[in-house]
Structure 1
Amino acid sequence: MELLLAFLNTRDLELGTDVLDGAASWRAWVAERRLGHVDDLATVRSARIALRSALGERAAAKPFSGTVRIELSQGVPMIATTDALGAVLAAAARVALLGSWERVKVCQAETCQAAFFDRSRNRSRTWCSMQVCGNREKARLWRERTRALSAS
């Protein structure tokens, strides 16, 4: 789960950073996680867009491919990969196979859009953090309602 969320959050709107803006930062991200071979940056960007789009982010997803194999290790089927994108796709597949894909969400705050795992009982979270994004959003809506009432 952590690998998938880390990959989905390689772009940070609040900080204005994107790991996928350059080959060096992508290589460093891959090395930090010991993921093996570094993939083509254009393919990796397409994968991130497609995965975030699958979570409901409004983005035009392009086709992409990654290499994931199933191997028997001591009689147990295991997802195997040799590259970073394959590891991310394997993590996404694992989340989906475990029935938790619908709990991976994108924060609805326009200035954030961070991916997060919804641990709420009824799976209704819409913000990555109620203390930060949820609070900002509720305060913004309150200000709008207050302005509308004072204008009328």
Structure 2
Amino acid sequence: MTLLLDFLNTVDVEEGTDVLATEQTWSEWAAARDLPADPLRTAAAARDALRTAAGSPAGEQAEIHDLLPPLAVTLSPEGVELAPATAVAAVLAAAARLTTSGQWDRIKICPAENCRWAFHDRSPNRSRAWCSMRVCGNRQKVRSYRRRSTSSSVSVEFS
């Protein structure tokens, strides 16, 4: 799951950085995880499609399409295992494992416009909305409070 979240978070809205902006930064990211880098376009398409599948806001949705990464299957007495050959294949294999285990819906994208961080919802009822209640959740609560306070305030004039 860590690999998947790390991949989804290769774009950082708050910092204004994107690992997939250049071949070099993408290759370094993959090499740091001992994985061969796919072509940059493949990585970007996979990340955008996975972020959309995880609930990225409507303005940031990408087309979800079939990705055909090099992925082998190994059989052993322990069972069937996916054997990815590249970084994108490893990420997609992790996403597939989460899906088959019923955990994919716990991968979410923070709705805060200046965040959009991918996170794992560990709440018992899968209802967590923010990557962090201390940061994004608190900011939204303050905004909502201010909006309610200003709209419900009544001004009275005395003459």
Same fold (TM over 0.5): yes
Q: Whole-Å Cα distance in 2 between the matches of residues 147 and 39 of structure 1?
A: 51
Q: Assess, with a 3 A threshold, how the Cα gap between structure 1 residues 26 and 52 changes in structure 2: closer, same or farther.
A: same
Q: Whole-Å Cα distance in 1 between the matches of residues 115 and 144 of structure 2?
A: 16
- On the 8 A contact 1:68/1:89 being kept in 2, the answer is no
Aligned structure 1 segments of 4 or more residues deviating by more than 4 angstroms: none
TM-score, with length taken from structure 1 = 0.92
Q: CA RMSD in A?
A: 1.5
Q: Whole-Å Cα distance in 1 between the matches of residues 123 and 24 of structure 2?
A: 37
TM-score, with length taken from structure 2 = 0.88
What is the identity percentage for the equivalent residue pairs of Structure 1 and Structure 2? 50
- On the 8 A contact 1:115/1:128 being kept in 2, the answer is yes
- On the 8 A contact 1:103/1:123 being kept in 2, the answer is yes
Q: Whole-Å Cα distance in 2 between the matches of residues 151 and 66 of structure 1?
A: 60
Q: Secondary structure at the match of 2:50?
A: helix
- On the 8 A contact 1:107/1:127 being kept in 2, the answer is yes
Q: In the alignment, is residue 122 of structure 1 matched against residue 121 of structure 2? A: no
What corresponds to 1:54 in structure 2?
A: 53
Q: Secondary structure at the match of 1:99?
A: coil
Tell which structure's C-alpha radius of gyration is larger: 2
What corresponds to 1:43 in structure 2?
A: 42
Q: Say how many residue pairs are matched.
A: 151
What corresponds to 1:14 in structure 2?
A: 14
Letter in 1 for 2:39: D
What corresponds to 1:71 in structure 2?
A: 74
Q: Assess, with a 3 A threshold, how the Cα gap between structure 1 residues 75 and 122 changes in structure 2: closer, same or farther.
A: closer
Between 6-15 and 51-60, report the one with greater CA deviation: 51-60
Q: Secondary structure at the match of 1:78?
A: strand
Structure 2 residues not aligned, in runs of 5+: none
Q: Assess, with a 3 A threshold, how the Cα gap between structure 1 residues 125 and 136 changes in structure 2: closer, same or farther.
A: same
